[in-house]
Amino acid sequence: MADTHDLPDDARFETRAIHAGQGPDPHNGAGMTPVYLTSTYAQDAPAVPRQGYEYSRTTNPTRTALEENLASLEGGAWGLCFASGLASTNALMDRMNPGDHVVAGNDLYGGTYRIFTKVFERFGVEYTFVDTSDPAKVREAMRPNTRYVYVETPSNPLLRLTDIAAMAELAHAGGAQLVVDNTFATPHLQRPLEHGADIVLHSLSKYLGGHSDLIGGALVGRDEATREELAFFQNAVGGCLAPMDAFLVLRGTKTLGVRMDRHCENAAAVAEYLSNHDAVERVIYPGLPDHPQLMIAQRQMAKPGGMLSFELNGGVEAANAFASATRVFTLAESLGGVESLVEVPPSMTHASIPPEVRRAAGLADGLVRLSVGIEHVDDLVADVERALSIAVGSQAQRAGAAS
Ligand SMILES: *Cc1c(COP(=O)(O)O)cnc(C)c1O
């Protein structure tokens, strides 16, 4: 099975991205990790597997290669890969018992909010949603039965930042574990375990896969007892990542560094353009000087990332007009692929959050979210410029008709 490359201990991120967990196949020297399309493995004697592999729900060599690769990139001791980001969240919640409590961010990915409130609340798990960018609110929400503090930073779609080190201190003081959803930043820009987090969660469907061609999820951590519990649920529940998808993510992580650098450069240019435009009410990007948590960005992120949100003066109608008018940005949910995407979160990715909960969390109905891709930056800025003029024009027309 795949032979882990004998990397120097001090190999850097970009080098580990290409080699960690992978190496020439020991049987035939295949340079790239094979896709082990097998459900079962021959045993030498009953219950004596040859190399530890028995059945692919439990373990599969292509998945193992990816799990080792992700562990290395996040600075963890282990990784576990799942069929989706939400299947990873599910595995975390499978460890809870009725009456256990979770303190979670109040602008999480919509599907995360949904699995908490529509699935696990029914089994007696309790949730308190707070603005985790304010540590005092998290401290207040902690209870003796709190088992996780669960945060997303940058958050989705408001790009609020949460101080990971402060959260780790609060969680640990209360006997809880800190889970950080690192999907938006990726380990190239932010490594939560280095700031005290216990478990990092990823939707592999986004930047790590990087090409919008798969669905997957991962958990990475350091503590062995935690790994054993989560691996038990990975196998017992069965939401594991398929080998072909593991292979595709391994292909994606090889270029993670160069892709993220370009995503960041392009997003900074688009953010800058938007923040100088008259029709734009506000731009939210952790690289802009007016971002309220610039200090946290500088402390825990290498760069501000490829995601940004903005509000237009014309509210939801202008937002819809903008999102329908772009030609390079595709109107679609999801993020993190090489291609640029635009969406209106309240009616798309975040529609599963009730309107009053959304608004209370500061998510305006007319918010537009961009996943800035790695196309030529001039084409992206020109596309935004054109779509803004169309959105503003349709606003003016509507105002004219009304008066
Ligand atoms: C997409 C996403 C998820 C869920 O991942 P899936 O792979 O779609 O199940 C979780 N968290 C964040 C921040 C996401 O963007």
Percent of the chain with pLDDT over 90: 85
Q: Which residues are catalytic?
A: 57, 109, 181, 206
| pLDDT at 4 (0 to 100) | 63
Establish whether residue 155 lines the binding site of ligand 1, counting it when its CB lies within 6 angstroms of any ligand atom: no
| pLDDT at 2 (0 to 100) | 45
CA pseudo-torsion sign 298, 303, 306, 312: positive
Nearest atom within ligand 1 for CA of residue 205: 7
Average pLDDT over residues 106-135: 95
Q: Which residue has a Cα nearest atom 2 of ligand 1?
A: 203
Report pLDDT digits (tens) over 260-285: 999 999 999 999 999 999 999 999 99
- Integer CA distances (angstroms), 292 to 153, 160, 275, in order: 14, 8, 15
- Residue in 115, 162, 183 to alter for ligand 1 test, most ligand atoms within 8 A of Cβ: 183
Report pLDDT digits (tens) over 132-172: 999 999 999 999 999 999 999 999 889 999 999 999 999 99
**373-382 burial, b if ≥16 CB within 10 A, otherwise e?**
bbbebeebbe
Nearest atom within ligand 1 for CA of residue 336: 15
| pLDDT at 27 (0 to 100) | 85
Q: Which of 196, 260, 261, 185 is nearest to 223 (CA)?
A: 196
Nearest atom within ligand 1 for CA of residue 215: 7
Q: Which residue has a Cα nearest atom 11 of ligand 1?
A: 109
CA atoms within 13 A on the CB side of 237: 21
Query: pLDDT tier at 1 (50, 70, 90 boundaries)?
Result: very low
| pLDDT at 154 (0 to 100) | 96
User: How far, in Å, is the centroid of ligand 1 from the Cα of 109?
Assistant: 7
Query: pLDDT tier at 401 (50, 70, 90 boundaries)?
Result: low
Residues in the chain: 403
pLDDT at 255 over 60: yes
Please indicate whether residue 349 or residue 94 has the higher confidence score (pLDDT).
94
pLDDT at 30 over 50: yes
pLDDT at 367 over 70: yes
Nearest atom within ligand 1 for CA of residue 217: 7
Average pLDDT over residues 333-337: 95
- Residue in 84, 90, 92, 109 to alter for ligand 1 test, most ligand atoms within 8 A of Cβ: 109
| pLDDT at 5 (0 to 100) | 67
Establish whether residue 156 lines the binding site of ligand 1, counting it when its CB lies within 6 angstroms of any ligand atom: yes
Query: pLDDT tier at 402 (50, 70, 90 boundaries)?
Result: low
Establish whether residue 215 lines the binding site of ligand 1, counting it when its CB lies within 6 angstroms of any ligand atom: yes
Nearest atom within ligand 1 for CA of residue 184: 13
User: How far, in Å, is the centroid of ligand 1 from the Cα of 86?
Assistant: 6
| Runs of H (alpha helix) within 95-223 | 110-114, 135-141, 164-173, 186-189
Please indicate whether residue 90 or residue 8 has the higher confidence score (pLDDT).
90
User: How far, in Å, is the centroid of ligand 1 from the Cα of 8?
Assistant: 33
In three-state secondary structure terms, 225 is helix
Report pLDDT digits (tens) over 284-330: 999 999 999 999 999 999 999 999 999 998 889 999 999 999 999 99
Is the distance from CB of 304 to CB of 285 less than 8 angstroms? Answer: yes
Establish whether residue 217 lines the binding site of ligand 1, counting it when its CB lies within 6 angstroms of any ligand atom: yes
Percent of the chain with pLDDT over 70: 97
Cα distance between residue 341 and residue 385, in whole Å: 15
Query: According to the per-residue pLDDT averaged within each range, which of 106-110, 370-374, 391-395 is highest?
Result: 370-374
User: How far, in Å, is the centroid of ligand 1 from the Cα of 76?
Assistant: 20
Query: pLDDT tier at 403 (50, 70, 90 boundaries)?
Result: low
- Residue in 205, 207, 241, 341 to alter for ligand 1 test, most ligand atoms within 8 A of Cβ: 205
User: How far, in Å, is the centroid of ligand 1 from the Cα of 111?
Assistant: 7
Strands, E assignment, 232-303: 280-284
State the DSSP string of 352-394.
TS-HHHHHHTT--TTEEEEE--SS-HHHHHHHHHHHHHHHHHH
